[in-house]
Amino acid sequence: MNANYTLQFADGTGSSSDSQRGLTSRGNIRNLIPLNFDERHRINLILDYRYGAGAKYNGPELLGKKILENFGINLQAIAVSGRPYTATSLPTILGGTGFKGAINGARNPWNFALNLRIDKDFVLPGNTGLNVYVRVQNVLDRRNVINVYSATGSAFDDGYLASANGFNQLRTIQGSVRSVDSYLASYQWSILNPNLFSLPRRIFAGIALDF
- pLDDT tens for the chain, 211 residues long, are 999 999 999 998 888 877 766 566 666 667 888 999 999 999 999 999 999 988 888 888 888 888 899 999 999 999 999 999 999 999 999 999 998 988 899 999 999 999 999 999 998 888 889 999 999 999 999 999 999 999 999 999 999 999 999 999 999 998 888 889 999 999 999 999 999 999 999 999 999 998 8
Q: Do 177 and 143 share a structural domain?
A: no
Q: Do 106 and 180 share a structural domain?
A: no
Q: Do 184 and 119 share a structural domain?
A: no
What's the total number of domains in the chain? 2
Q: Do 201 and 167 share a structural domain?
A: no
CA 189, CA 203: separation in Å to the nearest integer? 27
Strand partners, 149: 154
Q: Do 42 and 98 share a structural domain?
A: yes
Q: Do 128 and 80 share a structural domain?
A: yes
Contact 124, 70 (CB under 8 A): no
Q: Do 121 and 24 share a structural domain?
A: yes
pTM higher than 0.85: no
Q: Do 135 and 117 share a structural domain?
A: yes
Provide the residue type at 68 as one letter. L
